[in-house]
Structure 1
Amino acid sequence: MGRHRKPSSVNIGRSSVLALSGLLPAGLVAVAGASDLDPALQADIQPSPEEGIDALGARLAAALDETAGHAMAAQRFAAPPVVKTVALPENRVRADLPAGPLGIPGVAVAAYQNAEKTLLAENPECGMSWSTLAGIGRVESTHAFGGKADADGNPLTPVYGPVLDGSLSGNNVIHDSDDGALDGLSGYDRAIGPMQFLPDTWKRYAADGNGDGIADPQNLFDAALTAGKYLCSGGLNMRDLSQQTRAILRYNNSMAYVANVMAWANSYNNGVAPKPAELPRI
């Protein structure tokens, strides 16, 4: 499994702004500053006829400090989600949403598109598409057993992979990493949720896709966003075919797996079902 590399932040010091203000005409400083600020703050840095460069520079620095302060505060106080599987009643109703391309369940489409939108804002360099996430979801769990999930994206029956105790040919032996908290097992691990994460990997990349403060691997919205973060980790660009291939190989180190995911992703984009030759046996 890969590692997620956090983008570096850029800090602009108050002294730098003041130094620049002393080198430029007051009007130019105001225009340059205003172009980088929220429109609501632009009025605060417009020069008055009697105002000198130093005074304008001070006001510009104060406005930038306030803006940066708000942004930093928002990042600082964004608490990480609680990582757990939520216990839900058994008599929940299946979501009744219009199906997407090729009959993809509507609640799954909503989860994948929500993840695309969130990642576009958080990591636009990645270029994650909802159809790539849909390709993963199709191969891993057929979108939570064909969309058997409630309107909140919670599967009506929890999704689990086989126990990784070495009893199945071709599967690795993976000993327990979560004390059974996520996969309900002790002794060995198993993949969890509609996007089939191992518990240890889920804990590293867990994301809250539906805004409830919880990162539940069984929830379609949480699982789709976490899958997107995992694929994007390491600064990969999903618009580049070779980098997209590297990302998908993290899920399953098999080119047949990559071919299946990409074939379904392309089909969800163009509405034409993949041909058998495009779906080699994994």
Structure 2
Amino acid sequence: MGRHRKQSPATVRRSSVLALTGLVPAGFMAVGAASDLDTGEIAAIQQFNEGELNPFTAKPAEDPADQVHAVAKQGHKSPPVVKTVALPENREKSTLPAQSGVPGVAIAAYQNAEEILHTENPTCNMGWSMLAGIGRVESTHAFGGKADAEGNALSPVYGPVLDGSLYGNNVIYDSDGGELDGLGGYDRAIGPMQFLPETWKRYAADGNNDGIADPQNLYDAALTAGKYLCSGGLNMRDLGQQTRAILRYNNSMAYVANVMAWANSYNTGIAPKPAELPKI
């Protein structure tokens, strides 16, 4: 979440350590659709956003992979305009089917980011499942895929106000004049991949090739997350470097264990049980 938490040493249970080594704990269960959230998950997510995300407005492809390739083939221009686009209310949710427990519009965004990064930064070896692991932990893939056909959140996704009132979070004063997070005085994380405004401005990427880097857009957010994780020449095929990259998001080994466990589950089709994931 953009490194805004105060972190204390976390104790990672043995089952979580297995996730860090790329192994699947024997107690994993089959992955369900990400849109099928239980009450506990919804309550945890709503601590930083009571609304829904915006959907992707372009005509959806028959298959998420088709949409991924169509976006990637358009080319990639830089630098994009960094802003949050004002969109009409009551837009329809994307109907792309879920795959591997990930909403269709989200998996299309992650796979699109993987394809672009393989061209722009092939030594990073970023896989879509790693981005999906981040997206699962940060916003449950925009609250179970509550985004339009173009990947725009149906309602803006915001983290808690970082004014020191919430235990465990740092105080971070306003860095964007409220331009991206709609808030003056203090900052808060923005979008389905939960970037701080200052970090977003530094790494902002245009994942859907519309000339804009919007943190509330899944395509832009996924590609920006990939750039952030890959920065500094890190290689995601190396476990140590992969761990370093994830720690940039949240300086907690419990967080790393959760992200890796979910990333592994999207590769294997098996999800971790809640009791096997350390509390972040």
Query: Aligned equivalents of 2:172 and 2:162: distance in 1?
Result: 6
Query: Which position in structure 1 is the counterpart of 2:13?
Result: none
Instruction: Give the one of 194, 198, 201 matched to 2:199.
Output: 201
Query: Which position in structure 2 is the counterpart of 1:223?
Result: 221
In 2 relative to 1, CA 78–139 (structure 1 residues): closer, same or farther, beyond 3 Å?
A: closer
TM-aligned CA deviation for residue 173 of structure 1: 0.2
Query: Aligned equivalents of 2:157 and 2:82: distance in 1?
Result: 17
Question: Aligned ranges for residues 130-209 of structure 1 at < 5 Å?
Answer: 130-209=128-207
RMSD: 1.6
Greater share of helix: 1
Deviations 1:239-272 (A, max 9, x none): 0000000000000000000000000000000001
Asked if 1 retains the 8 angstrom alpha-carbon contact of 2:77 and 2:211, the reply is: no
Asked if 2 retains the 8 angstrom alpha-carbon contact of 1:259 and 1:278, the reply is: no
Asked if 2 retains the 8 angstrom alpha-carbon contact of 1:111 and 1:220, the reply is: yes
The one-letter amino acid paired with 2:242 is: Q
Query: Which position in structure 1 is the counterpart of 2:80?
Result: 81
Query: Aligned equivalents of 1:78 and 1:247: distance in 2?
Result: 25
Query: Which position in structure 2 is the counterpart of 1:94?
Result: 93
Query: Which 4+ stretches in 1 moved above 4 angstroms?
Result: none
Asked if 2 retains the 8 angstrom alpha-carbon contact of 1:153 and 1:219, the reply is: yes
Query: Aligned equivalents of 2:227 and 2:99: distance in 1?
Result: 23
TM-aligned CA deviation for residue 276 of structure 1: 3.4
Query: Which position in structure 2 is the counterpart of 1:13?
Result: none
TM-aligned CA deviation for residue 224 of structure 1: 0.1
Larger RCO: 1 or 2 (CA < 8 Å, sep 6+):
2
Aligned length, in residue pairs: 208
Q: Given the two structures, how large is their TM-score scaled by the length of structure 1?
A: 0.72
Unaligned runs of 5+ in 1: 3-74
TM-aligned CA deviation for residue 91 of structure 1: 1.3
Asked if 2 retains the 8 angstrom alpha-carbon contact of 1:164 and 1:171, the reply is: yes
Asked if 1 retains the 8 angstrom alpha-carbon contact of 2:112 and 2:207, the reply is: yes
TM-aligned CA deviation for residue 274 of structure 1: 1.1
Question: Aligned ranges for residues 227-242 of structure 1 at < 5 Å?
Answer: 227-242=225-240
Give 1 or 2 for the bigger CA radius of gyration: 1
TM-aligned CA deviation for residue 107 of structure 1: 0.2
Query: Aligned equivalents of 1:189 and 1:208: distance in 2?
Result: 22
Q: Given the two structures, how large is their TM-score scaled by the length of structure 2?
A: 0.72
Query: Which position in structure 1 is the counterpart of 2:258?
Result: 260
TM-aligned CA deviation for residue 277 of structure 1: 4.7
Asked if 2 retains the 8 angstrom alpha-carbon contact of 1:260 and 1:278, the reply is: no
